Structure 1
């Protein structure tokens, strides 16, 4: 499965090179140094692709080293100044990953970028957004509260006061299709468009295996128990920095019911219903609707859609 937000082809230089100050300085001065420019409105694009802007054309701010491609170093650059308080995510149009605003000028919101760009550029967009989002929210040391410094080209922050080191955070999320022969258990949130249902999902909790998280989330959200759990594939989800871990889970017992306030409805759908929905054009509308009407599947950029299509494939 080739999921959106994957495919960034960079040497991330995650070895000793990043700890070599002279090497890092040389990357900043490299004649081919370029940057992915992003901010509140989205990512900067040109001719349908991410625009790699020469680093020498950018003034102010601190570029973060993403890695190296065949031409030279590639950086991430936040074009909006740092701030305290409620900090919007890169290219989301809001602070909680709300539906994106329409693209304006040469900036494209992150969700739209994933739908419009190549898979490789989508992966680069996700990497850029996740790293910049982390730095926006972790300017201060969580141990003592002092403002921390960038080190290793931006893959670490170090506190000059207490010496604590902080690394980019990735939050694991399990997302699963509950199957029972030729039917699927899907749920919907009230904020989704009319008819849209999707796979169940939830964050992995401390001290919990992925398989345990799948079983717990299904029981909590839908009131049913599952047996066998199989891993399918994963997808970075930079809203702000999650990793979606896709599974299938075999239904064992229980009648579906709404188990918590996250869901508006949960129900079984037949293979015929799912096949019909998969044949319809993807609805990118984010206007809240109702559970009524024909089944509508999540957009193609979501791993949930890929899990469903994988289930439909003989």
Structure 2
């Protein structure tokens, strides 16, 4: 059964795994769990993983290659680890996070574990030197810290990003419209909600108004929180909002948004059904925002 506007982000936020953070410095416990026959290991090569039977390919510790060993957590007495290794280890059929969306959407049991592992893999790839002294860093705390020889600690970062569906007109009315944009680098016909990063000293609501104004010229008034979603590509937390337009004239910046349009529900239904426009996949909070406004699933996806 296809996902509905019961929001896929709930699959990623309502089924959190036990991260066992208190065990990350307990080397004896980590060694014992690594040698336990029930333990599972997810290998992340660069930022790609091996697919297996419409899900992700877990291995036993004995099957895992050398690499940075990361504790993901425990579930029902079973430990889950990731091993982060070089991207050259990946086979031709290995896929990145976007390639896993169909499997994660069909079965969200492993979704938070995969997001956790890939988020840490992206951080380890990007963080090679201490930001304070410039020395090389090495992993600690079961892969959740990086430490240089001077003892300076570096922790994973998460960048807050807003993603928003802006609407115009009487809520629920036949002529109510939503605003979608086409990024300058996307293939023709691909549309999505607008998004952008929160800047220092800025509230999330103001970030919504600023980003929409900068990218499309549309002026936003009321902003309402919708939900959130981890997005380790490479290190974001997507914070979803809806907003009401108070001025609807579009003037795109042309650098990020090449084209933006207002859609009624009827137009959105017709054009997604014909393939004239294509919306993001169902695991994205963008899709949830659109379908929550529309009121039902829509056809097609990237």
Alignment TM-score, normalising by the size of structure 2: 0.84
Of 144, 152, 160, the match for 1:164: 152
Q: Secondary structure, in 3 states, of the residue corresponding to 2:191? A: coil
Q: Secondary structure, in 3 states, of the residue corresponding to 1:185? A: strand
Q: Which residue of 1 aligns with 2:110?
A: 121
Of 124, 137, 140, the match for 1:148: 137
| Alpha-carbon distance between aligned partners in 1 of 2:233 and 2:87, rounded to the nearest angstrom | 19
Q: Secondary structure, in 3 states, of the residue corresponding to 1:205? A: coil
| Alpha-carbon distance between aligned partners in 1 of 2:65 and 2:261, rounded to the nearest angstrom | 53
| Alpha-carbon distance between aligned partners in 2 of 1:245 and 1:109, rounded to the nearest angstrom | 22
Q: Does 1:308 align with 2:296?
A: no
Count of matched residue positions in the alignment of Structure 1 and Structure 2:
281
Tell me the C-alpha RMSD between the 2 structures: 2.5
Q: Which residue of 1 aligns with 2:3?
A: none
State the shift of 1:71 in Å. 4.4
> Which deviates further from its counterpart, 172-181 or 57-66?
57-66
| Alpha-carbon distance between aligned partners in 2 of 1:278 and 1:45, rounded to the nearest angstrom | 29
Of 279, 291, 296, the match for 1:297: 279
Matches within 5 A, 1:136-215: 136-161=125-150, 163-181=151-169, 182-215=176-209
Q: Which residue of 2 aligns with 1:246?
A: 240
State the shift of 1:76 in Å. 1.0
Q: Which residue of 1 aligns with 2:299?
A: none
State the shift of 1:209 in Å. 1.0
Q: Does 1:51 align with 2:33?
A: no
In the TM superposition, structure 1's runs of 4+ consecutive aligned residues that sit over 6 Å from their partners are none
Q: Secondary structure, in 3 states, of the residue corresponding to 2:62? A: helix
8 Å CA contact 2:46, 2:122 repeated in 1: no
| Alpha-carbon distance between aligned partners in 2 of 1:303 and 1:233, rounded to the nearest angstrom | 8
8 Å CA contact 2:190, 2:279 repeated in 1: yes
Sort the Cα spacing of 1:67 and 1:149 in 2 relative to 1 into closer, same or farther, 3 A.
same
What do the CA deviations read for 1:175-194 (whole angstroms, capped 9, x no partner)? 11110121011111132232
| Alpha-carbon distance between aligned partners in 2 of 1:77 and 1:138, rounded to the nearest angstrom | 17
Alignment TM-score, normalising by the size of structure 1: 0.81
